[in-house]
Amino acid sequence: MLFSYQVVSLAASSLLPLLTPGRHDQRWTAAGAAALAAGGFTVLAAAPALPVVACTPLGLGGGACLVLTLSFQSRRAGNSGEAAALAGMAQSIGYLVAAASCTTPPRAGHSPSPSWPS
């Protein structure tokens, strides 16, 4: 399933810049990508026996969101120094959120992995 997700995500991230050249307002594109990803998660939650069906919209949405994220950073910056600072800040915050989610206490009904130190 991971391979199918990666193939679809690669196709989406490769084709999105070709399909949206010169668009200054990317809000609808971002909303569509988020809706695709949400739809994939919904299919995965509603029908776990159909992972390939869920991986297609997840890959399309994920690939598009990645390209949009990188393009939003470069469009917001005025020069290369600002682009580097903005990308560094965004990555730092992203890694901080990821690290914090690994150290939160288990939620009700969920236990930590036996190989993960508590």
CB-hemisphere CA count at 13 Å for 104? 10
33-64 residue pLDDT tens = 999 999 999 998 999 899 889 999 999 999 99
DSSP secondary structure, 43-71, as one string:
HHHH-TT-HHHHHHHHHHHHHHHHHHHHH
Give the pLDDT confidence score for residue 97 in this predicted structure: 85
Q: Phi and psi (nearest 5°) for 54?
A: -75, -35
Alpha carbon distances (Å) from 47 to 5, 28, 39, 44, 54: 17, 28, 12, 5, 9
Give the pLDDT confidence score for residue 20 in this predicted structure: 79
Give the pLDDT confidence score for residue 32 in this predicted structure: 93
Predicted structure pTM score: 0.72
List, for the chain, all residue ranges whose pLDDT scores fall below the cut of 50: none
Nearest CA-CA partner of 37 in 66, 57, 65: 57
Give the pLDDT confidence score for residue 63 in this predicted structure: 93
